[in-house]
Chain A
Amino acid sequence: MKLLTLNFLTCARKTCKSLPAAFPLHPKDAELEVVETDFNAPFLRNILGRLEWDALKTLCMELGLPNLPPSAPEPEALLEPGAEMAELELERELEPTQTARDLHNLLLETGIKEGKLVCGNCGHEYAVKEGIANFLLPSHLV
Chain B
Amino acid sequence: MLPTPSTSHVSFDRVYEPAEDSFLLLDTISSASETAWLHQRFFENENLETTPAPLILEVGTGSGIVLAFVTANAQAILGRREVLTLGADINYFACQATKKTVDTTIAEIPPMSNTNLSTGKFLDVVNCDLTSPIRPNSVDVLIFNPPYVPTEELPDLDNHLKYNVPQDTLSFDQESHLLALSYAGGSLGMEVTERLLSQLPSVLSSERGIAYILLCAQNKPEEVKARIQTWGMGWRAEIAGSSGKKGGWEKLCILRIWRGG
Contacts and interface: CB of A to CB of B under 8 A. Distances in A.
The 7 A-B pairs with the shortest beta carbon distances in the complex, nearest first, are: A135-B128, A46-B82, A49-B52, A12-B132, A46-B53, A50-B52, A135-B133
A4 B161 contact: no
Interface of A: 1-2, 4-5, 8-12, 17-18, 23, 40, 42-43, 45-50, 75, 85, 108, 126, 130-139, 142
B55 A12 contact: no
Interface stretch (B9-17, B19-27, B118-126, B220-228): B118-126
Contact of A108 (B95, B121, B125, B202): B121
B53 A18 contact: no
Contacts of B92: 132, 134
B257 interface: no
B259 interface: no
A47 B121 CA distance: 11
A123 B174 CA distance: 30
Given A18-B202, A136-B161, 20 more contacts: A5-B126, A8-B134, A8-B135, A9-B134, A10-B135, A12-B133, A17-B132, A17-B136, A42-B82, A43-B81, A45-B49, A48-B52, A130-B96, A132-B96, A132-B99, A133-B128, A135-B129, A136-B127, A136-B164, A137-B129
Nearest to B127: A134
Q: Which secondary structure dominates chain A's binding surface?
A: mixed
B51 A23 contact: no
What band does the interface of chain B fall in when counting residues whose beta carbon is under 8 Å from A? Answer: 35 or more
B48 A46 contact: yes
Contacts of B126: 1, 5, 9, 132-133, 135
Nearest to B125: A132
A136 B136 contact: no
A75 B53 CA distance: 14
Contacts of A133: 124, 126-128, 133
Contacts of A130: 96
A9 B81 contact: no
B160 interface: yes
